[in-house]
Structure 1
Amino acid sequence: MRLWPQWLVGLLIGSWGLRVIIAWLLPPGFDEAYYFLYTQHWDWSYFDHPVMVALTTAVGPWLTGYIAPLTMRLGALVLYGLSTGLLYLSGWRLFGPRVGMWAVAIASLCPLFVFSFGLLAAPDNALIFGWSAVMYVAVLEFFPTGKPYQPTHKIALIGVLLGLTCLSKYHGFILGLSLVGFCLTSSKHRQALVSPWTGVALVLFVFILTPLLYWNTQHDWLSFSFHLSTRFEGAPSPKNSPSFNLLNMVGVWLVGVAYLFPSLGFPLWWASVHSLRQLNDLRQRFVLWLGLPIALGFTLLGGITRIYPAWPAPGLWSLSLLLAVAVAGWPPRVVRRWLMGSAVVMATLLIFALGHVSLGTLQQPGGLVKLMPPETDPTTTMIDVVQLRRALQAGEVEAAIAATDFLVTNEFWLSGYVDMALSPITPAPVMAFTQDPRGHAVWFTPADWIGASGLFLTIADYDQSEIRATYAPYFEKFDLLETLETKRAGAITETFYLYDLGQLIQPYQYPY
């Protein structure tokens, strides 16, 4: 058997090509649109996340000079290739080249990994790159070839990489604790905890975190308070004992398996549990320490509160090495059928779904199979920003936008779509007047805009009489200027209402 069989090379190329097509055709999601706003408000850190997501989202539009779904996802596509390369190197150094090869195959197929880390613009793009870099350097540090372990300067490099990982997403802090846990449970590696290099690593780690810490000191630690409390509003309060629901936890686990894809997700968890019986193998113990705290921890948390599938994903990324170890012992024919069969089914489902999202193949009217009217189709919530941009450049609307000082929407995520559409047209900022403003509460002080002229853009999902009643008191007037539409397969998928506000006459009060 060749080290990299031709069928596997073809599978990897096909996976990469499909990712590019999806990145090109799939409209931006709510979070992606919001992260685009980060690129319009450069800062040391942000309300929801540290700074890296702004950089990875901005690189594509900066290189191409064009704002579109594909360009804002270029950073994700490139970093995922680098991350899978680092995953390969970690598997190769720990268990051999075959394990590294199968780890790349698994990472290239799992939808949870592909979408969370390698396709959608998100903090997870830089997170998994930093995570993979930390893992690889830790492998080099803790498992030297042909000699007993002694702490080296690589620990300092781990400190730097951990800091950069934390500037991507706060999962990096748990990764650092996982490395400490491994050292504590390995007699050969405890000396690393008292090494001078660990002191250097801590200093460098804190130094790298300076942008995050500085921003939070200037904004009353908003980011940390959001992630530790506000994000979990509706969850049990600290005054009450948390109520753990086993069925909810199992449901979260099954959803995670579904996102991994069942033919990969169930074996991945099986391989992880099986490795618990082989803790004497320090290599497998190391991988378990890097994977289980995140993967199992967030799964258990799902029994208490709502979690998102991407939260445990970095841990599952590490645990994929253990599945690759198991796969390396399977007959080649079985591996080929398993991976190729999974790839064919996943590709078919993804192409089918993409065809509907981008072309409306199941839409009634206009689709090939007329099943879902746009009014009840959840895929229409993803706004085609290029089409919206064209609508905003027509006639009197373009003139009104050119003359306005600012634009307002009623949702923080909607402002991202509007800003993506408008950025090539006008430098006017897009605000969100809402009681869930996220970064808008930091970027804007509405009192500073008293006397400035504005436009208000919202969508038909909201009762326009309520919109008028809620927001008209803040402005000189609230006159409907134009009704705009976006279409798919000839049918209207979203209706936008553009209002002329005149001047802002009283400031909107944000909750924080």
Structure 2
Amino acid sequence: MTSRRSLWFLIVISTSLRLAWSASLGLGNDEAYHYLFATHHDWSYFDHPPMLALVERLGIVLSGGVVSPFRLRLGFILLFAGSTWLMARLTERFYGPRAGFLAALALNLTAYHSVAAGAFVLPDGPLLFFWLLTLDRLAVAIDSGGRLGPWLGVGVAWGAAMLSKYHAVFLPVGTFLYFLLEPTARHWLRRAGPYVATAIGLALFSPVIWWNATHGWASFAFQGARALGGLRFRPDTLGAAVLGQALYLFPWVWLALVSILIRNGRRFFSPSETAPADRFLLCQAIVPLSIFMAVACTRSVLPHWTLVGFLSIFPLLGRKWEEEPARLHRRIVVFATLLLFAATVVLVQTRTGVLQQGGEGTLGLIKVSRDPTLDLYGWDEVSRELERRGLLDRPNTFLFTSNWYYSGHVAFATRNHATPVACYSAGDARSFAFWSKPSDWMGQDGILISMNGRSVEPHCFDRFFSRIELLGEFEVKRSGTPIRKIRLFHCVRQIVPFPFDQPRPPSSVRTIAQSPTEESAGETKPAVLR
């Protein structure tokens, strides 16, 4: 079988598996919250630029306007099929079709790219696609012999990447570094093409800048603050970042990428020892990796932040695997088997809880409070209970929780009803802080959905309503074991606006936003995928 046929076989099989897998799972924390991006049309959002919402709407349109977890994910799955093709195309341009297929295969054998970015409603999927598209267009433009036309495509691709996730800001930095270090490309610093591409990309990104300018620079400030730390070296956060990389990429792929980075990095500055293609890819890798690893030395970072840096090393990995044919077949079989096994375990655990403690026929390996698959299970039961109690579609009534991803889950579960959902968290309401005003809910009744016995609820809301009455309690169960305890409160007539639009709560109302004892009360952990 030729490399190109192998590539199309890989795309068809892997896409089919993702379609089946995603159709069998409910939405995760981030996904449920991101669903609301598709229902709130705007130029940008508090957490991310607007490409996430556009891809969501693509899946909904392709499915005839019906909203479900599968349909929300459809656009992201199709984009990852395109990312697989782009990885092969980019690598083939430098190292040949066989290396291109192997690089695309390696991308599909990682946990984060293949599963999270490749199947979930996350901004990393569009970023992956447009990052690779930008690199591909850059490779064409650099070899264009000075023509301006190809740089127009670079600008459009980079602009789309910026509309996907702010990480794309590293692409022009890496390109500029390449122009400085590569003698054969240095002349581009004196030509118009790269600057025209930058201008086009910024023009496409300008709606996000405008949104931030009219919303107190909220998104830039939020994302920027997450990357700023102190000056004290913290080996624990650095170690956690490295461990996270290994787990997200799988250790066997991560080790191969790191070894390539180290081996090529030793001769990075020597023009005679590094081919232009190698230097081009290394420049795009070193910039984000260096910056995020430097940040990890002083504060916690999310593991997937650095993965766009490793993305540019996959073509080099494809070439390396091509040069080692003796071990290639066994390596592919083992890696693919491990990935399929891990995906199957997640699916079975989510639907049955077979590994959880408690319940009939379970193995008792994971505490319910520590099970990350709970985020994807049981939210339709919450909607059914609200409907059974007659709490949906009531006039002058809204639903609310004190956590942005709980409110996201409730909003998606009740999407076929007209009852609005708010997030009453002073300091971390995310985009809920912009989708309504505190005064909008004055005079209305609220239904508080309190999760897992939060001790501060409902008392932290007493002064905002005329009175608060307990409506009842119920449990969401999986395999007979309670996994989510829910209390419902009728908060009668709001009399004081709740400050969910404030970026940070003052210390006097800390418990309104989040109680420091919630985790000990069995609170489900926030999603890590961001």
> Could you tell me the TM-score, scaled by structure 1's length?
0.90
Q: 1:413 to 1:43 in 2, by over 3 A?
A: same
Aligned residue-pair number: 495
After TM superposition, list the pairs within 5 Å mapping 1:405-416 onto structure 2: 405-416=397-408
- For the pair 1:254 / 2:243, whether they are aligned, the reply is yes
1:51 aligned partner: 50
Q: Percent identity?
A: 26
Q: 1:460 aligns with which of 435, 438, 452?
A: 452
**8 Å Cα contact 1:68-1:386 kept in structure 2:** no
2:383 partner letter:
R
**8 Å Cα contact 1:278-1:284 kept in structure 2:** no
1:441 aligned partner: 433
Q: 1:339 aligns with which of 332, 336, 361?
A: 332
- For the pair 1:327 / 2:343, whether they are aligned, the reply is no
2:200 aligned partner: 204
1:191 partner letter:
H
Q: 1:489 to 1:495 in 2, by over 3 A?
A: same
Q: In structure 1, how many angstroms separate the alpha carbons of the residues matched to 2:56 and 2:450?
A: 25
Q: In structure 2, how many angstroms separate the alpha carbons of the residues matched to 1:491 and 1:62?
A: 38
**8 Å Cα contact 1:380-1:493 kept in structure 2:** yes
- For the pair 1:164 / 2:160, whether they are aligned, the reply is yes
**8 Å Cα contact 2:237-2:301 kept in structure 1:** no
Q: Deviations over 1:404-427 (max 9, x none)?
A: 432221111111001001111225
- For the pair 1:286 / 2:280, whether they are aligned, the reply is yes
Q: CA RMSD in A?
A: 2.4
2:413 aligned partner: 421
Q: Measure how far apart 1:260 and its partner are.
A: 1.0
Q: 1:223 aligns with which of 211, 219, 222?
A: 219
2:513 aligned partner: none
**8 Å Cα contact 1:406-1:431 kept in structure 2:** no
Q: In structure 1, how many angstroms separate the alpha carbons of the residues matched to 2:59 and 2:180?
A: 42
2:440 partner letter:
D
**8 Å Cα contact 1:412-1:434 kept in structure 2:** no
Q: 1:475 to 1:62 in 2, by over 3 A?
A: farther
**8 Å Cα contact 1:257-1:265 kept in structure 2:** yes
Higher deviation after alignment, 217-226 or 497-506: 497-506
**8 Å Cα contact 2:18-2:119 kept in structure 1:** yes
> Could you tell me the TM-score, scaled by structure 2's length?
0.87
Structure 2: gaps (5+ residues): 269-273, 504-530
Q: In structure 1, how many angstroms separate the alpha carbons of the residues matched to 2:208 and 2:147?
A: 29
Q: Deviations over 1:306-342 (max 9, x none)?
A: 11121111111111111111111112x4111011111
Q: Measure how far apart 1:381 and its partner are.
A: 4.0
Q: In structure 1, how many angstroms separate the alpha carbons of the residues matched to 2:72 and 2:81?
A: 16
**8 Å Cα contact 1:89-1:100 kept in structure 2:** yes
1:505 aligned partner: 495
Q: 2:257 aligns with which of 268, 291, 313?
A: 268
- For the pair 1:492 / 2:477, whether they are aligned, the reply is no
1:55 match: secondary structure: helix
Q: 1:298 to 1:448 in 2, by over 3 A?
A: same
1:307 partner letter:
V
Q: In structure 2, how many angstroms separate the alpha carbons of the residues matched to 1:10 and 1:101?
A: 10
1:354 aligned partner: 347
2:31 aligned partner: 32
Q: 1:267 to 1:376 in 2, by over 3 A?
A: closer
Q: In structure 1, how many angstroms separate the alpha carbons of the residues matched to 2:452 and 2:465?
A: 21
**8 Å Cα contact 1:113-1:317 kept in structure 2:** no
Q: Deviations over 1:90-143 (max 9, x none)?
A: 011111111110011001111121234212211111111110110111111123
**8 Å Cα contact 2:439-2:497 kept in structure 1:** yes
Q: In structure 1, how many angstroms separate the alpha carbons of the residues matched to 2:178 and 2:367?
A: 54
1:503 match: secondary structure: strand
Q: In structure 1, how many angstroms separate the alpha carbons of the residues matched to 2:239 and 2:372?
A: 26
2:476 match: secondary structure: strand
2:395 aligned partner: 403
1:132 match: secondary structure: helix
2:77 partner letter:
L
Q: In structure 2, how many angstroms separate the alpha carbons of the residues matched to 1:122 and 1:182?
A: 30
After TM superposition, list the pairs within 5 Å mapping 1:297-316 onto structure 2: 297-316=291-310
Q: Measure how far apart 1:12 and its partner are.
A: 5.8
1:423 partner letter:
R
Q: In structure 1, how many angstroms separate the alpha carbons of the residues matched to 2:50 and 2:426?
A: 23
- For the pair 1:365 / 2:336, whether they are aligned, the reply is no
**8 Å Cα contact 1:12-1:108 kept in structure 2:** no
- For the pair 1:477 / 2:471, whether they are aligned, the reply is no
